[in-house]
Chains A and B, each alone.
Chain A
Amino acid sequence: MKKWWIMFPICILLSGCWDERPLRTMKLIFGAGMDMQEDDRYSLTIEMPIEGAGGGSSGQGGQGGGQGGQAQTSQVMSEDGITVRDSAYKLDRKVGGVLDVSKLRVLVIGEDGAEKGLYSFLDALYRNASSPLNAKIAIVEGKAGTLFQSEISGEQLHSEYLYKLIMSAEKESMAPVTNLQFICISLLDNGSDPVLPFMKYNEKNKAVEISGGALFNGTKMTGTITPDEMSAFLLLADQMGKELSFTIPADEGRKLTILIEKSKRKMKVDTTNKDHVTADISLDLSVRVLEYPPDHLDDEKKLNELNKLVSDELEKIFTQTMDKMKMADSDTLGFGRQIMAKDPKKFEKMNWKKSYRSADVKIRVKTKIISGGVIL
């Protein structure tokens, strides 16, 4: 009689496990592409890795290298629906196994869709407790669906390739460090706007290249910037990665490639002016010369000249970038947020998005060449 409590664990054991999601029955989505079609239907393309022969056949495989089940090929499927979730359910019906989004690594969104508003694509992901908010996100020229279907030489798993591509771009300051989580915060922030990596498919090399950045106004994509401008933006936003390089035309048609080692940014937003906002950005850069074929760098005078040249050229790029961002109404540097922090009442009164274009942004660059490599 004293052992009646034994019944309880037995009951639990018999009733099974309600929330079990066994890995072996899961179909893991590694990459996803989303597009908006002309009729406002959402089309969803997913890529799932097909695991190489796992334990079972590895014994008979003969080659030792095949063991462990590296991802061999991938399975790409596409479907459209009224909402993203709707198309996901349609896909689920076609797949043997349960679709699982929790290991998503890359989400690519087509240019057309992004122009119509990014948030509606992502909402379903934000609502799901198990969705991976640290997945990378990028905008692609043309359709995202076709990117997953097009051939990429030397790579079988598109999502893995894209993930690595974005990761290395982040490191080399060719793309901002971002993911689904951070993008969501700035999408919903009326004081700043996000910038996303922008990529396109290169027919000739059968590869994908990062072709700069996509600018947003609120949740809608409003423009693009070139890779150089992206680097400039990252410097302006104080988000430089591990390294950052520029190639600058020097005098007499010579070219100069520099690597920015260290960057110090100071930003001041002045709200005292009644009708327009002025901002001062000053950049202090330590530069290493990577390539400068014509000359030696041991001459003080020469060096000063070069310094001036570099800062002038950089300033040009920065201003050009700033203008582009203004034209796109994209407050990527978060001036609005600074105004809000300083003078919230003024921010409420003014129509920031309108006055952003007329904001007076001054950019000052100071460079210092610290090294010319192992030769003079």
Chain B
Amino acid sequence: MDEGVKTKKTISAQQLFFLILQTQIGVGVLSLPYSVHTESGKDGWISILIAGLFVQIGIGVIWLLSSRFPDKTLYEFAPLLLGRLLGTIVNALYIVFFFIVAAQMLIVFLYLTSNWAFPHTPHIVFAVIVVGITVYLIQENIRIIARFHVLMSFLFIIVLILFVFIIKHLNVYYLLPIGSEGAPAILSGTKQALFSFAGFEFLLWLYPVTKASSKAKWKAAAGASAIAAVFYTLLSAFVYMFFSLKKLNHVPEPVLYMVKAVELKMIERIDLLFLSIWAIFAITSFMSYMYLAASGVAKLAKAKHHRKAVYVLAVLILPITFYTANPEQSVNIYEKISTLSTIFLFAVPAFLLAVAIIRNKREEST
């Protein structure tokens, strides 16, 4: 009913929780255990757990920053903190970052889809469909997006049930002795894992639109990341307990490969079901990033609504996806974005927080 007024405080803490969770759990689910294992071997799960702890720090920083500007998103308060020019540049960089992350997600989605289920369908078909669905959702306001993300989160239950069937095939000895890979290897694995937690920075934009106490917002964001961390850790621990290290070298998408072993009476080959659920997770993350980028573009262009920005970005992302849609390139891009992400997820918010503290900028909630 309060739609008419320039929307503020439209989502609940619960929706905040699920929005961040859905954004964090995305394309990475299938290959995270593998990519971490290349660095830290069978102790990859520790790397992921540590990455989850780092993310908690990142959330703390973002929360402190956002609670100084309870009515403003980063796009709005960055110019206040850094001056108009520098603020706009930071905003533009964020937009580009989000856009690239979205594009990378789409690339990974298309690549895995064609690899696992639809080898002959041209990439463009799925790309256009996914972008189309995304546009259909994200042209609406954040409240509708939140509703959708909350609903889709219930698919987690199916994923967890699938894991129950795997438990009996696990071999704990594959994990032992814990920590034998050494601290440097584990930490370098952590660096690999950090990127899969990307999504918590959404808090910078959701903080002002969430209707809850400041503490509740922190709880929601931290809780979502904690759940994501536990989920990823469990997932990778399962994978490392299922495959021996030597075998793991052969399977870049170990999660799907693992699920293949599950056999139910009613239905066989659960990996196909799992792939479909993963597709939903991947698309929801993609939606979140497209929304962030689009709302940034709208802010830069001083548009009233982000709808047009969505259309523009949707048209732009398709050629970018095709230009880079081969596996070698996408691995390359992944590495680069991984590094970039640490800057945008941790360094920039920390820097902004420092500036805010030094310049003593603070606003009260209206």
Contacts and interface: CB of A to CB of B under 8 A. Distances in A.
Contact of A189 (B122, B176, B246): B246
B363 interface: no
Nearest to B116: A129
Contacts of B180: 344
A334 B173 contact: yes
Interface of B: 115-122, 125, 128, 132, 169, 171, 173-177, 180, 242-244, 246-247, 250, 257, 260-261, 263, 268-269
B250 A126 contact: yes
A341 interface: yes
A134 to B, nearest CB: 5
Nearest to A186: B244
Given A19-B118, A188-B247, A189-B247, A134 B173 contact: no
Contacts of B257: 133, 181
Interface string A166-203: 00000000000001011011101111000000000000
Highest count of chain A CB atoms <10 Å: which of B120, B122, B171, B263: B171
A132 interface: yes
Given A182-B261, A186-B244, 8 more contacts: A8-B132, A18-B118, A19-B118, A102-B269, A134-B261, A188-B250, A337-B174, A344-B180
Nearest to A5: B132
Nearest to B176: A341
Contacts of B122: 18
B239 to A, nearest CB: 11
A185 B118 CA distance: 26
Contact of A19 (B121, B242, B246): B121
B117 A134 contact: no
B244 A134 contact: no
Q: State the majority secondary structure of interface residues on B.
A: loop
A181 B118 contact: no
Nearest to A184: B247
Interface in A313-365: 334, 337-338, 340-342, 344
A18 to B, nearest CB: 4
A376 interface: no
Contacts of B250: 126, 188
Contacts of B269: 102, 132
Contacts of A188: 244, 246-247, 250
Highest count of chain B CB atoms <10 Å: which of A129, A132, A342: A129
Contacts of A133: 257, 260-261
A182 to B, nearest CB: 7
Contact of A340 (B173, B243, B247): B173
Highest count of chain B CB atoms <10 Å: which of A17, A181, A182: A181
Contacts of B115: 129
A23 interface: no
Given A134-B268, A342-B177, A18 B242 contact: no
A342 B176 contact: yes
B261 A129 contact: no
B115 to A, nearest CB: 7
A341 B177 contact: yes
A12 interface: yes
9 contacts: A18-B118, A19-B120, A129-B115, A181-B260, A185-B247, A189-B244, A337-B174, A340-B176, A341-B173
Closest 10 CB pairs of A and B: A341-B176, A189-B244, A18-B120, A18-B121, A188-B247, A181-B261, A188-B246, A19-B118, A341-B173, A133-B260
A134 B270 CA distance: 11
A18 B122 CA distance: 8
Nearest to B242: A185
A181 to B, nearest CB: 4
Contacts of A132: 268-269
Given A18-B121, A19-B120, A341-B177, A185 B244 contact: yes
A337 B247 CA distance: 14
A119 to B, nearest CB: 11
A337 B173 contact: yes
Contacts of B247: 184-185, 188-189
Nearest to B171: A337
Nearest to B178: A341
Contact of A182 (B120, B169, B176): B169
Nearest to B249: A188
A134 B242 CA distance: 15
Nearest to A344: B180
Nearest to B251: A126
A341 to B, nearest CB: 3
Interface in A193-240: none
A4 to B, nearest CB: 13
B320 to A, nearest CB: 20
B173 A190 contact: no
Nearest to B263: A134
A341 B174 CA distance: 7
Highest count of chain A CB atoms <10 Å: which of B122, B132, B173: B173
Contacts of B116: 129
Contacts of A181: 257, 260-261
Contact of B119 (A19, A134, A185, A344): A19
A17 B261 CA distance: 29
A179 B177 contact: no
Contacts of A184: 247
A117 B243 CA distance: 21
A28 to B, nearest CB: 13
A19 B244 CA distance: 33
A191 B119 CA distance: 36
B117 A19 contact: yes
Interface in A136-194: 179, 181-182, 184-186, 188-191
Contacts of B128: 8
Nearest to A334: B173
A182 B169 CA distance: 9
Highest count of chain A CB atoms <10 Å: which of B121, B175, B244, B268: B244
B45 to A, nearest CB: 15
A129 B177 contact: no
Contacts of B132: 8
B260 A134 contact: yes
B282 to A, nearest CB: 17
Contacts of B121: 17-19
A341 B175 CA distance: 7
Contacts of B261: 133-134, 179, 181-182
